[in-house]
Protein backbone atom coordinates (compact mmCIF):
# COMPACT_ATOMS: atom_id res chain seq x y z
CA UNK A 1 0.00 0.00 0.00
CA UNK A 2 1.26 3.45 -0.91
CA UNK A 3 2.00 5.77 1.97
CA UNK A 4 0.52 9.34 1.91
CA UNK A 5 3.98 10.82 1.33
CA UNK A 6 4.65 8.48 -1.61
CA UNK A 7 1.24 9.31 -3.07
CA UNK A 8 2.13 13.01 -2.92
CA UNK A 9 5.42 12.41 -4.70
CA UNK A 10 3.73 10.37 -7.45
CA UNK A 11 1.01 13.00 -7.86
CA UNK A 12 3.57 15.78 -8.18
CA UNK A 13 5.56 13.70 -10.66
CA UNK A 14 2.45 13.06 -12.76
CA UNK A 15 1.71 16.79 -12.87
CA UNK A 16 5.25 17.47 -14.09
CA UNK A 17 4.84 14.83 -16.81
CA UNK A 18 1.52 16.33 -17.94
CA UNK A 19 2.95 19.84 -18.06
CA UNK A 20 6.08 18.73 -19.88
CA UNK A 21 3.99 16.79 -22.40
CA UNK A 22 1.80 19.84 -23.01
CA UNK A 23 4.89 21.96 -23.55
CA UNK A 24 6.36 19.70 -26.25
CA UNK A 25 6.03 21.13 -29.81
CA UNK A 26 4.62 17.87 -31.22
CA UNK A 27 1.80 17.90 -28.65
CA UNK A 28 1.02 21.53 -29.44
CA UNK A 29 0.88 20.62 -33.12
CA UNK A 30 -1.55 17.78 -32.46
CA UNK A 31 -3.85 20.22 -30.69
CA UNK A 32 -3.63 22.82 -33.43
CA UNK A 33 -1.74 25.32 -31.27
CA UNK A 34 0.51 26.31 -34.14
CA UNK A 35 1.56 29.69 -32.81
CA UNK A 36 2.57 28.20 -29.46
CA UNK A 37 4.46 25.42 -31.22
CA UNK A 38 6.33 28.00 -33.30
CA UNK A 39 7.20 30.11 -30.25
CA UNK A 40 8.42 27.08 -28.27
CA UNK A 41 10.46 25.71 -31.17
CA UNK A 42 12.14 29.06 -31.82
CA UNK A 43 12.97 29.34 -28.13
CA UNK A 44 14.58 25.88 -28.20
CA UNK A 45 16.57 26.66 -31.37
CA UNK A 46 17.66 30.26 -30.91
CA UNK A 47 21.31 30.65 -29.93
CA UNK A 48 22.04 26.90 -30.18
CA UNK A 49 24.97 25.75 -32.33
CA UNK A 50 23.68 22.20 -32.46
CA UNK A 51 20.03 22.36 -33.34
CA UNK A 52 17.85 19.41 -32.37
CA UNK A 53 16.17 17.92 -35.44
CA UNK A 54 12.83 17.44 -33.65
CA UNK A 55 12.55 21.18 -32.98
CA UNK A 56 13.62 22.01 -36.53
CA UNK A 57 10.94 19.72 -37.97
CA UNK A 58 8.35 20.92 -35.45
CA UNK A 59 9.01 24.53 -36.45
CA UNK A 60 8.82 23.66 -40.13
CA UNK A 61 5.53 21.81 -39.69
CA UNK A 62 3.90 24.38 -37.39
CA UNK A 63 4.86 27.23 -39.71
CA UNK A 64 3.49 25.43 -42.76
CA UNK A 65 0.20 24.53 -41.06
CA UNK A 66 -0.30 28.01 -39.60
CA UNK A 67 0.29 29.66 -42.97
CA UNK A 68 -2.03 27.24 -44.75
CA UNK A 69 -4.77 27.79 -42.16
CA UNK A 70 -4.45 31.57 -42.45
CA UNK A 71 -4.54 31.57 -46.27
CA UNK A 72 -7.66 29.40 -46.27
CA UNK A 73 -9.38 31.76 -43.84
CA UNK A 74 -8.47 34.74 -46.04
CA UNK A 75 -9.94 32.98 -49.09
CA UNK A 76 -13.25 32.40 -47.28
CA UNK A 77 -13.40 36.02 -46.11
CA UNK A 78 -12.67 37.36 -49.61
CA UNK A 79 -15.36 35.16 -51.16
CA UNK A 80 -17.96 36.61 -48.78
CA UNK A 81 -17.31 39.94 -50.51
CA UNK A 82 -18.13 42.05 -47.44
CA UNK A 83 -16.25 45.28 -46.88
CA UNK A 84 -16.04 44.79 -43.12
CA UNK A 85 -14.04 41.58 -43.69
CA UNK A 86 -11.01 43.62 -44.69
CA UNK A 87 -10.38 44.40 -41.02
CA UNK A 88 -10.00 40.69 -40.23
CA UNK A 89 -8.09 40.01 -43.46
CA UNK A 90 -5.56 42.69 -42.56
CA UNK A 91 -5.22 41.26 -39.07
CA UNK A 92 -4.39 37.86 -40.58
CA UNK A 93 -1.95 39.45 -43.06
CA UNK A 94 -0.13 41.08 -40.16
CA UNK A 95 -0.04 37.80 -38.32
CA UNK A 96 1.56 36.07 -41.32
CA UNK A 97 4.03 38.92 -41.67
CA UNK A 98 4.99 38.76 -37.99
CA UNK A 99 5.41 34.98 -38.14
CA UNK A 100 7.72 35.21 -41.14
CA UNK A 101 9.77 37.90 -39.42
CA UNK A 102 10.27 35.53 -36.46
CA UNK A 103 11.62 32.80 -38.76
CA UNK A 104 13.92 34.95 -40.92
CA UNK A 105 16.79 35.28 -38.39
CA UNK A 106 17.09 31.47 -38.24
CA UNK A 107 17.45 30.94 -42.00
CA UNK A 108 18.90 28.84 -43.43
CA UNK A 109 17.91 26.37 -40.73
CA UNK A 110 19.82 23.07 -40.45
CA UNK A 111 19.61 20.52 -37.70
CA UNK A 112 22.78 19.06 -36.16
CA UNK A 113 22.37 15.91 -38.31
CA UNK A 114 22.11 17.91 -41.55
CA UNK A 115 18.35 18.19 -42.05
CA UNK A 116 17.38 21.45 -43.79
CA UNK A 117 13.98 22.94 -43.02
CA UNK A 118 11.90 24.25 -45.93
CA UNK A 119 9.84 27.37 -45.24
CA UNK A 120 7.52 28.64 -47.97
CA UNK A 121 7.04 32.37 -47.34
CA UNK A 122 4.04 34.30 -48.60
CA UNK A 123 4.81 37.52 -50.48
CA UNK A 124 2.82 39.36 -47.89
CA UNK A 125 3.93 42.99 -48.19
CA UNK A 126 1.70 43.96 -51.12
CA UNK A 127 -1.22 41.93 -49.78
CA UNK A 128 -0.94 43.61 -46.39
CA UNK A 129 -0.79 47.08 -47.97
CA UNK A 130 -3.94 46.35 -49.97
CA UNK A 131 -5.90 44.98 -47.01
CA UNK A 132 -4.71 47.86 -44.83
CA UNK A 133 -6.02 50.44 -47.31
CA UNK A 134 -9.35 48.65 -47.72
CA UNK A 135 -9.76 48.24 -43.94
CA UNK A 136 -9.09 51.95 -43.46
CA UNK A 137 -11.53 52.80 -46.27
CA UNK A 138 -14.20 50.73 -44.57
CA UNK A 139 -13.65 52.37 -41.18
CA UNK A 140 -13.75 55.80 -42.81
CA UNK A 141 -16.98 55.15 -44.73
CA UNK A 142 -18.62 53.70 -41.60
CA UNK A 143 -17.49 56.71 -39.62
CA UNK A 144 -18.96 59.11 -42.19
CA UNK A 145 -22.24 57.16 -42.21
CA UNK A 146 -22.50 57.22 -38.43
CA UNK A 147 -21.53 60.87 -38.35
CA UNK A 148 -24.43 61.75 -40.65
CA UNK A 149 -26.79 60.09 -38.16
CA UNK A 150 -25.05 61.93 -35.33
CA UNK A 151 -25.74 65.25 -37.00
CA UNK A 152 -29.43 64.41 -36.56
CA UNK A 153 -28.98 64.17 -32.80
CA UNK A 154 -28.00 60.51 -32.35
CA UNK A 155 -25.26 60.55 -29.73
CA UNK A 156 -24.71 56.79 -29.87
CA UNK A 157 -24.03 57.13 -33.60
CA UNK A 158 -21.56 59.92 -32.82
CA UNK A 159 -19.64 57.69 -30.45
CA UNK A 160 -19.62 54.87 -33.00
CA UNK A 161 -18.31 57.34 -35.58
CA UNK A 162 -15.54 58.34 -33.19
CA UNK A 163 -14.58 54.68 -32.72
CA UNK A 164 -14.56 54.16 -36.50
CA UNK A 165 -12.21 57.08 -37.06
CA UNK A 166 -10.09 56.03 -34.11
CA UNK A 167 -9.73 52.54 -35.62
CA UNK A 168 -8.17 54.09 -38.73
CA UNK A 169 -5.15 55.01 -36.62
CA UNK A 170 -4.26 51.32 -36.46
CA UNK A 171 -3.54 51.58 -40.17
CA UNK A 172 -2.49 55.17 -40.85
CA UNK A 173 -1.34 58.06 -38.68
CA UNK A 174 -3.07 60.61 -40.89
CA UNK A 175 -5.84 59.52 -43.19
CA UNK A 176 -7.84 62.01 -45.21
CA UNK A 177 -9.69 64.32 -42.80
CA UNK A 178 -10.31 61.68 -40.12
CA UNK A 179 -8.82 63.87 -37.35
CA UNK A 180 -11.30 66.67 -38.12
CA UNK A 181 -14.21 64.24 -38.36
CA UNK A 182 -13.16 62.55 -35.13
CA UNK A 183 -13.26 65.88 -33.33
CA UNK A 184 -16.72 66.56 -34.74
CA UNK A 185 -17.89 63.11 -33.58
CA UNK A 186 -16.60 63.83 -30.09
CA UNK A 187 -18.51 67.12 -30.00
CA UNK A 188 -21.73 65.48 -31.16
CA UNK A 189 -21.37 62.48 -28.85
CA UNK A 190 -20.64 64.41 -25.69
CA UNK A 191 -23.35 65.05 -23.11
CA UNK A 192 -23.35 68.57 -21.70
CA UNK A 193 -24.88 68.87 -18.25
CA UNK A 194 -25.78 72.14 -16.51
CA UNK A 195 -25.96 72.22 -12.73
CA UNK A 196 -28.05 74.94 -11.13
CA UNK A 197 -29.78 75.86 -7.87
CA UNK A 198 -33.34 77.07 -7.44
CA UNK A 199 -34.86 78.21 -4.15
CA UNK A 200 -38.54 77.27 -3.95
CA UNK A 201 -38.66 77.39 -0.16
CA UNK A 202 -39.83 81.02 0.16
CA UNK A 203 -37.16 81.38 2.81
CA UNK A 204 -34.04 83.47 3.06
CA UNK A 205 -31.03 82.08 1.23
CA UNK A 206 -27.63 83.66 1.95
CA UNK A 207 -26.00 85.37 -0.99
CA UNK A 208 -22.93 83.14 -0.79
CA UNK A 209 -24.92 79.89 -0.65
CA UNK A 210 -24.80 79.18 -4.39
CA UNK A 211 -21.12 80.11 -4.60
CA UNK A 212 -20.35 77.74 -1.72
CA UNK A 213 -22.21 74.85 -3.38
CA UNK A 214 -20.55 75.44 -6.75
CA UNK A 215 -17.09 75.18 -5.26
CA UNK A 216 -17.38 71.42 -5.71
CA UNK A 217 -14.85 69.84 -8.03
CA UNK A 218 -16.59 68.19 -10.98
CA UNK A 219 -13.49 67.01 -12.83
CA UNK A 220 -13.81 63.46 -11.48
CA UNK A 221 -17.52 63.44 -12.45
CA UNK A 222 -16.66 64.05 -16.08
CA UNK A 223 -15.56 61.64 -18.78
CA UNK A 224 -14.66 61.63 -22.46
CA UNK A 225 -18.36 61.81 -23.22
CA UNK A 226 -19.69 63.95 -20.38
CA UNK A 227 -19.01 67.52 -19.23
CA UNK A 228 -20.53 69.16 -16.16
CA UNK A 229 -21.02 72.93 -16.27
CA UNK A 230 -21.52 74.88 -13.06
CA UNK A 231 -22.31 78.08 -14.91
CA UNK A 232 -24.50 78.45 -17.98
CA UNK A 233 -22.93 79.22 -21.33
CA UNK A 234 -25.26 80.62 -23.99
CA UNK A 235 -23.18 78.99 -26.74
CA UNK A 236 -23.81 75.46 -25.44
CA UNK A 237 -26.93 73.37 -25.91
CA UNK A 238 -27.32 71.40 -22.70
CA UNK A 239 -28.61 67.86 -22.91
CA UNK A 240 -29.46 67.66 -19.21
CA UNK A 241 -30.01 70.09 -16.39
CA UNK A 242 -29.40 68.90 -12.84
CA UNK A 243 -31.31 71.21 -10.53
CA UNK A 244 -30.86 71.35 -6.79
CA UNK A 245 -34.37 72.50 -5.93
CA UNK A 246 -34.57 73.77 -2.34
CA UNK A 247 -37.99 73.37 -0.77
CA UNK A 248 -37.31 73.59 2.95
CA UNK A 249 -34.98 76.05 4.67
CA UNK A 250 -35.39 76.56 8.40
CA UNK A 251 -33.32 77.74 11.35
CA UNK A 252 -34.37 77.07 14.93
CA UNK A 253 -34.39 79.68 17.70
CA UNK A 254 -31.45 79.99 20.10
CA UNK A 255 -32.00 77.37 22.77
CA UNK A 256 -30.46 77.52 26.25
CA UNK A 257 -31.15 74.86 28.87
CA UNK A 258 -29.76 75.04 32.38
CA UNK A 259 -29.80 72.34 35.02
CA UNK A 260 -28.22 71.32 38.29
CA UNK A 261 -27.32 67.80 39.27
CA UNK A 262 -25.27 65.97 41.88
CA UNK A 263 -22.33 63.69 41.16
CA UNK A 264 -21.44 61.47 44.10
CA UNK A 265 -18.96 58.72 44.68
CA UNK A 266 -17.83 56.50 47.55
CA UNK A 267 -14.06 56.63 47.96
CA UNK A 268 -11.41 55.37 50.38
CA UNK A 269 -10.13 58.16 52.64
CA UNK A 270 -7.56 56.89 55.11
CA UNK A 271 -8.21 53.93 57.41
CA UNK A 272 -9.79 52.98 60.71
CA UNK A 273 -9.55 50.11 63.23
CA UNK A 274 -11.86 47.14 62.90
CA UNK A 275 -13.87 46.81 66.16
CA UNK A 276 -15.58 43.81 67.63
CA UNK A 277 -19.12 43.87 69.04
CA UNK A 278 -17.84 45.21 72.31
CA UNK A 279 -16.07 48.14 70.70
CA UNK A 280 -12.59 46.72 71.10
CA UNK A 281 -9.99 46.68 68.34
CA UNK A 282 -9.82 43.28 66.71
CA UNK A 283 -6.52 41.48 66.36
CA UNK A 284 -5.17 39.28 63.59
CA UNK A 285 -3.56 35.88 64.23
CA UNK A 286 -0.21 37.58 64.89
CA UNK A 287 -1.72 39.83 67.54
CA UNK A 288 -1.62 42.99 65.38
CA UNK A 289 -4.43 45.53 65.26
CA UNK A 290 -6.63 45.04 62.18
CA UNK A 291 -7.03 48.15 60.02
CA UNK A 292 -9.61 48.61 57.23
CA UNK A 293 -9.99 51.35 54.56
CA UNK A 294 -12.21 54.20 55.62
CA UNK A 295 -14.95 54.82 53.02
CA UNK A 296 -16.67 58.16 52.68
CA UNK A 297 -19.33 59.52 50.35
CA UNK A 298 -18.23 62.65 48.45
CA UNK A 299 -20.40 64.95 46.38
CA UNK A 300 -20.14 67.73 43.82
CA UNK A 301 -22.98 69.96 42.62
CA UNK A 302 -22.74 70.66 38.86
CA UNK A 303 -24.32 73.71 37.21
CA UNK A 304 -24.68 72.96 33.49
CA UNK A 305 -25.67 75.22 30.57
CA UNK A 306 -26.58 73.61 27.21
CA UNK A 307 -26.83 75.66 23.99
CA UNK A 308 -28.32 74.43 20.71
CA UNK A 309 -29.23 75.89 17.34
CA UNK A 310 -30.03 73.98 14.17
CA UNK A 311 -30.19 74.89 10.49
CA UNK A 312 -32.07 72.60 8.08
CA UNK A 313 -31.88 72.58 4.29
CA UNK A 314 -33.99 70.14 2.31
CA UNK A 315 -35.14 69.66 -1.23
CA UNK A 316 -34.69 67.46 -4.25
CA UNK A 317 -32.06 66.90 -6.92
CA UNK A 318 -33.83 66.79 -10.28
CA UNK A 319 -32.36 65.37 -13.50
CA UNK A 320 -34.13 67.05 -16.42
CA UNK A 321 -33.85 65.83 -20.01
CA UNK A 322 -33.80 69.03 -22.05
CA UNK A 323 -34.41 67.18 -25.32
CA UNK A 324 -37.28 65.03 -24.07
CA UNK A 325 -38.43 67.91 -21.84
CA UNK A 326 -39.12 65.77 -18.80
CA UNK A 327 -37.73 64.98 -15.37
CA UNK A 328 -36.14 61.56 -15.75
CA UNK A 329 -34.86 61.12 -12.21
CA UNK A 330 -35.12 62.76 -8.80
CA UNK A 331 -33.25 62.27 -5.53
CA UNK A 332 -34.26 63.73 -2.13
CA UNK A 333 -31.80 66.01 -0.32
CA UNK A 334 -31.67 66.90 3.36
CA UNK A 335 -28.95 68.06 5.76
CA UNK A 336 -28.88 69.57 9.24
CA UNK A 337 -26.17 71.93 10.42
CA UNK A 338 -26.01 71.74 14.21
CA UNK A 339 -24.49 74.06 16.80
CA UNK A 340 -24.15 72.57 20.29
CA UNK A 341 -22.21 73.72 23.32
CA UNK A 342 -21.98 72.55 26.93
CA UNK A 343 -20.63 74.79 29.68
CA UNK A 344 -20.42 73.86 33.36
CA UNK A 345 -19.03 74.73 36.78
CA UNK A 346 -19.21 72.88 40.10
CA UNK A 347 -19.17 73.25 43.86
CA UNK A 348 -17.94 70.51 46.19
CA UNK A 349 -15.40 67.76 45.90
CA UNK A 350 -13.84 67.55 42.43
CA UNK A 351 -13.12 63.87 42.96
CA UNK A 352 -16.84 63.11 42.77
CA UNK A 353 -17.15 64.33 39.17
CA UNK A 354 -17.94 61.79 36.45
CA UNK A 355 -15.88 61.69 33.26
CA UNK A 356 -18.80 63.30 31.40
CA UNK A 357 -18.96 66.16 33.89
CA UNK A 358 -15.21 66.65 33.76
CA UNK A 359 -15.40 67.19 29.98
CA UNK A 360 -17.89 70.01 30.47
CA UNK A 361 -16.26 71.74 33.43
CA UNK A 362 -14.37 74.82 32.38
CA UNK A 363 -16.22 75.28 29.10
CA UNK A 364 -17.74 78.71 28.65
CA UNK A 365 -20.97 79.73 26.93
CA UNK A 366 -20.34 80.69 23.29
CA UNK A 367 -22.03 83.21 21.01
CA UNK A 368 -24.78 81.61 18.92
CA UNK A 369 -24.00 81.41 15.17
CA UNK A 370 -26.10 83.54 12.88
CA UNK A 371 -28.82 81.94 10.78
CA UNK A 372 -26.81 82.77 7.67
CA UNK A 373 -23.69 80.98 8.91
CA UNK A 374 -25.68 77.84 9.75
CA UNK A 375 -27.21 77.76 6.27
CA UNK A 376 -23.75 78.16 4.75
CA UNK A 377 -22.54 75.33 6.97
CA UNK A 378 -25.39 73.25 5.56
CA UNK A 379 -24.13 74.12 2.07
CA UNK A 380 -20.76 72.55 2.91
CA UNK A 381 -22.56 69.42 4.09
CA UNK A 382 -24.61 69.29 0.90
CA UNK A 383 -21.66 69.41 -1.50
CA UNK A 384 -20.43 65.81 -1.13
CA UNK A 385 -24.02 64.54 -1.11
CA UNK A 386 -24.87 66.29 -4.36
CA UNK A 387 -21.62 65.13 -5.94
CA UNK A 388 -22.23 61.53 -4.92
CA UNK A 389 -25.77 61.52 -6.30
CA UNK A 390 -24.61 62.92 -9.63
CA UNK A 391 -21.77 60.40 -9.88
CA UNK A 392 -24.11 57.45 -9.15
CA UNK A 393 -26.79 58.55 -11.58
CA UNK A 394 -27.25 56.19 -14.54
CA UNK A 395 -29.06 58.93 -16.43
CA UNK A 396 -25.97 60.94 -17.34
CA UNK A 397 -24.18 58.37 -19.51
3-state secondary structure the chain: CCCHHHHHHHHHHHHHHHHHHHCCHHHHHHCCCHHHHHHHHHHHHCCCCCCCHHHHHHHHHHHHHHHHHHHHHHHHHHHHCCCCHHHHHHHHHHHHHHHHHHHHHHCCCECCCCCECCCCCCCHHHHHHHHHHHHHHHHHHHHHHHHHHHCCCCHHHHHHHHHHHHHHCCCCCCCCCHHHHHHHHHHHHCEEEEEEEEECCCCCCCCCHHHHHCCCCCHHHCECCEEEECCCCCCCCCCEEEEEEEEEEEECCCEEEEEEEEEEEEEEEEEEECECCCCCECECCCCCECEEEEEEEEEEEEEEEEEEEEEEEEEEEEEEECCCCEEEEEEEEEEEEEEEEEEEEEEECHHHCCHHHHHHECCCCCCCCCHHHHHHHHHHHHHHHHHHHHHHCCCCC
Predicted pLDDT at 15 = 34
Q: Where are the domains of the chain?
A: 12-122, 132-189, 192-397
Quote the pTM value: 0.68
pLDDT in tens, the chain (397 residues): 444 443 443 344 333 333 344 468 889 998 989 999 999 999 999 988 899 999 999 999 999 999 999 999 999 999 999 999 999 999 999 999 999 999 999 999 999 999 999 999 999 999 999 999 999 999 999 999 999 999 999 999 999 999 999 999 999 999 999 999 999 999 999 999 999 999 999 898 898 999 999 988 888 889 889 999 999 999 999 999 999 999 999 999 999 999 999 999 998 878 787 787 888 878 888 878 878 888 889 999 999 999 999 999 999 999 999 989 999 999 999 999 999 999 999 999 999 999 999 999 988 999 999 999 999 999 999 999 999 999 988 888 7
Amino acid sequence: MLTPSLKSVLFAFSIVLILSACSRPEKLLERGNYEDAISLSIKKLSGKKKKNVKYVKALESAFSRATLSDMREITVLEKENRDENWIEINRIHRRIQYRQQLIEPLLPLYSSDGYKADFKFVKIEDLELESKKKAADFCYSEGVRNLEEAEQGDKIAARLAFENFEDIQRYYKNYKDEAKLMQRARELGKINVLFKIENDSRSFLPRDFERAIKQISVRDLESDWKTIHLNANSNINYDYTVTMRLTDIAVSADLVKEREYIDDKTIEDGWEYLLDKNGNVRKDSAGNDIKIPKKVLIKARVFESYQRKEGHVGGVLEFYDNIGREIVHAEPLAVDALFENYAARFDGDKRALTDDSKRKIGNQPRPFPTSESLILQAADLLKPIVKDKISRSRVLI
